[in-house]
């Protein structure tokens, strides 16, 4: 039996933008809205990266209008020509879960979705039709935005809503929902992205921001990530829904101050501290974080409890989990390339490593422990994109 939401749909979802037509969209939406018709649509914008964001203006019939579908929507899928694993399917599953079963629990912290579907059976493709936030009053976040302590506190309140919505729910045990730090995307980043990490480490500006131990003992980065992964998998719960990549560049701030979380391609089930640490450390200057981190963790914890979440760790327990998570943020941002869209990679790296040093994260995770596996820089690593390889070769030759 298929676990697709609309088994009556027998045609696979398209992989090419040329196949996305009003007729196709009409047939798709009729799985949920019988009698709907899209007479035509206008492409307002097509943005391709790892996924496709296709902003449309629809010509809807009365059935579509009565269903509450607006004229402006955004389709998200994979029509970029890149095969990106199952991230589109995973995101579609998330939006279907939220939009059909638990919408009220998320209280505006997730974009409104009108339709979500996926192929399943290992195909990996999925599609979501959601509100067009580009038309909404507000602004998309960027990792370079300065939020200040109050802005981060407000963002943590929205994360508490997300985490509290399915806190301890059987929905977090769904077979499709990966467990946090128990997937290749989570646990293998230092190994797989080593060439991208090395690209940044050879940049003179990064050399001023990254501590010497990374250059002298890079294996500690992988060991710390391995230990963090084991630590997270051993947590007894309760589990929550985890965004997995909760920096402000993956959010939209409505004019009323409500933060909406986007890009659910890394959604996981696990403890919330992955999101909380990533957002606090990345959203504050080093001095702001040093002055307010404990208060912010407690502020988040109080708001999580206020959602009705049971079994939330006490203040000391929450802090002990929080200070381990820079082991994830350091390597994630060090393997990030600015050309991928976030323009403040260097500052994010500096903030993450400063937090790691302040909390002695690496020592906390690795002291007295042998590595779980050998690490040889470059073995098993993804190749650099050709333009980046040329830059690296030129940089090394100039030394």
Q: What is the model's pLDDT at position 341?
A: 55
| Residue 108 CB partners (closer than 8 Å, separation 6+) | 258, 260
Query: What token pair was written down for 180?
Result: 């946090």
Among residues 277, 282, 270, which one has the least CA distance to residue 323? 277
Q: How far apart are CA 9 and CA 116, in angstroms?
A: 13
Q: What is the model's pLDDT at position 105?
A: 86
CATH number assigned to the domain with residue range 139-397, chosen from the 4 options 1.10.3470, 3.10.620, 3.90.1200, 2.170.130: 3.90.1200
Q: How far apart are CA 80 and CA 20, in angstroms?
A: 12
Among residues 114, 103, 32, which one has the least CA distance to residue 74? 114
Query: What's phi and psi for 48, nearest 5 deg?
Result: -115, 130
Residues of the chain with pLDDT under 50: 1
User: Each residue of 72-95: pLDDT tens digit?
Assistant: 999 999 887 666 568 889 999 999
DSSP labels, 232-278 = HHT-----EEE-S--SGGGEEEETTS-EEE---TT-EEE-THHHHHH
Reduce the DSSP state of residue 81 to 3 states and report it. Answer: coil
Query: What token pair was written down for 304?
Result: 């999580």
Q: Are 202 and 396 in contact (CB under 8 A)?
A: yes
In Å, what is the CA distance from 129 to each residue of 15, 66, 111, 343, 355? 16, 17, 10, 28, 38
Residue with tokens 């940044």: 200
Q: What is the model's pLDDT at position 83?
A: 62
Query: What token pair was written down for 294?
Result: 């404990």
The domain spans of the chain are 17-136, 139-397
Among residues 236, 227, 259, 59, which one has the least CA distance to residue 155? 259
Query: What token pair was written down for 225?
Result: 């990530």
Cβ-based burial of 85 (10 A; exposed 0-12, middle 13-18, buried ≥19): middle
Among residues 218, 230, 265, 246, which one has the least CA distance to residue 118? 265
* Fold observed for domain 17-136: Phosphorylase Kinase; domain 1 (3.30.200)
332 cis-preceded (ω within 30 degrees of 0): no
Q: Are 216 and 362 in contact (CB under 8 A)?
A: no
Q: How far apart are CA 322 and CA 69, in angstroms?
A: 40
Residue with tokens 């001023």: 208
Q: What is the model's pLDDT at position 1?
A: 39
Three-state SS sequence of 126-162 = EEEEEECHHHCCEEECCCCCCCHHHHHHHHHHHHHHH
Residue 62: how many CA atoms within 13 Å on its side-chain side? 0
Residue percentage of the chain with pLDDT more than 70: 97
Q: Are 39 and 61 in contact (CB under 8 A)?
A: yes
Which H or E run includes 44? strand 38-48
Query: What token pair was written down for 127?
Result: 């599609």
pTM of the model: 0.93
Q: Are 281 and 157 in contact (CB under 8 A)?
A: no
Q: How far apart are CA 331 and CA 346, in angstroms?
A: 12
């Amino acid at each position: 039996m298929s676990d697709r939401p609309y088994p009556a749909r027998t045609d696979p979802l398209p992989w090419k933008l040329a196949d996305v037509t009003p007729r196709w969209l009409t047939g798709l939406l009729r799985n949920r809205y019988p009698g709907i018709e899209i007479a035509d649509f206008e492409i307002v914008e097509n943005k391709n990266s790892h996924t496709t964001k296709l902003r449309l203006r629809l010509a809807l019939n009365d059935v579509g209008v009565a269903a509450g579908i607006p004229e402006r929507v955004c389709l998200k899928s994979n029509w970029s020509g890149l095969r990106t694993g199952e991230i589109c399917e995973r995101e579609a599953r998330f939006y279907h879960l939220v939009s059909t079963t638990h919408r009220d629990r998320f209280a505006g912290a997730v974009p409104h979705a009108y339709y979500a579907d996926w192929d399943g059976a290992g195909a990996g493709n999925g599609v979501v039709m959601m509100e067009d936030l580009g038309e909404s009053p507000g602004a998309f976040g960027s990792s370079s935005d300065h939020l200040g302590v109050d802005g981060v506190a407000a963002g943590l309140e929205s994360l508490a809503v997300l985490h509290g919505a399915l806190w301890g729910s059987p929905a977090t045990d769904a077979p499709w929902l990966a467990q946090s730090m128990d997937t290749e995307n989570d646990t293998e980043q230092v190994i797989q992205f080593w060439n991208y990490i090395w690209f940044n480490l050879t940049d003179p500006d990064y050399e001023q921001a990254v501590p010497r131990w990374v250059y002298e003992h890079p294996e500690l980065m992988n060991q710390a990530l391995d230990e963090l992964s084991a630590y997270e998998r051993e947590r007894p719960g309760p589990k929550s829904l985890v965004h997995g990549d909760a920096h402000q560049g993956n959010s939209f701030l409505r004019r009323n101050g409500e933060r909406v979380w986007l890009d659910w391609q890394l959604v996981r089930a696990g403890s919330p501290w992955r999101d909380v640490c990533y957002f606090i450390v990345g959203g504050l200057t080093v001095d702001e974080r040093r002055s307010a981190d404990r208060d912010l963790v407690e502020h988040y914890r109080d708001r999580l409890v206020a959602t009705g979440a049971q079994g939330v760790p006490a203040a000391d327990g929450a802090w002990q989990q929080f200070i381990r998570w820079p082991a994830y943020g350091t390597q994630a941002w060090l393997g990030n390339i600015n050309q991928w869209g976030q323009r403040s990679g260097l500052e994010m790296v500096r903030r993450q490593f400063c937090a790691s040093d302040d909390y002695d994260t690496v020592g906390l995770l690795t002291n007295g422990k042998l590595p779980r596996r050998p690490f040889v820089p470059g073995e098993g690593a993804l190749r650099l994109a050709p333009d980046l390889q040329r830059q690296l070769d030129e940089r090394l030759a100039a030394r």
